[in-house]
């Protein structure tokens, strides 16, 4: 059961990538994001014992490489029919810093899905852009955040 605010096409795209592209222990999660221009960008994690990137972070980089710098919604799906998986803490923080208005599709306790603002996944959060020494017009605050080391 999915709620009315879930981007079903996005969930289907991530599910298809998880089913067809995740193989073995190196790639166990797929993610899909919808850019504000409507494009869907997908990716898979690159598991490695040194802490390789999660699928959500691969999608952020892939989207930028394709010129999609603003994402509207993201979802991650596990391989082997595990369904939608909420983002880990590292991804939650990175997604908030890059896209503070982002919606994240997560499972509900009743077995459905819903889209929630990324900020709701991090109550009492640290917002990286709010703690930078630049002047407010340069830092961009939450709405202009692009993450550490970016100009």
Known active-site residue 56: yes
Closest CA to 96 of 26, 143, 44: 143
Catalytic residue among 8, 9, 16, 56: 56
Cβ neighbour number for residue 83 with a 10 Å cutoff: 14
Q: How far is residue 128 from each of residues 24, 100, 106, measured CA to CA in Å? A: 35, 11, 24
Number of H helices, E strands in the chain: 4, 6
- Which residues are known to be catalytic? 56
């Amino acid at each position: 059961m999915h709620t009315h605010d879930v981007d079903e096409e996005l969930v289907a795209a991530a599910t298809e990538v998880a089913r067809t592209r995740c193989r073995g222990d190196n790639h166990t999660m797929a993610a899909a994001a919808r850019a504000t221009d409507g494009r869907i960008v997908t990716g898979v994690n690159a598991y490695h014992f040194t802490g390789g990137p999660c699928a959500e972070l691969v999608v952020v980089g892939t989207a930028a490489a394709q010129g999609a710098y603003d994402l509207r919604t993201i979802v991650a799906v596990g391989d082997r029919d595990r369904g939608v998986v909420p983002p880990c803490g590292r991804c939650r923080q990175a997604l908030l810093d890059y896209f503070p208005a982002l919606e994240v599709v997560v499972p509900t306790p009743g077995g459905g899905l819903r889209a929630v603002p990324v900020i709701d996944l991090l109550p009492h959060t640290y917002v990286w852009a709010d703690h930078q020494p630049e002047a407010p017009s340069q830092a961009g605050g939450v709405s202009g955040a692009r993450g550490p080391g970016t100009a």
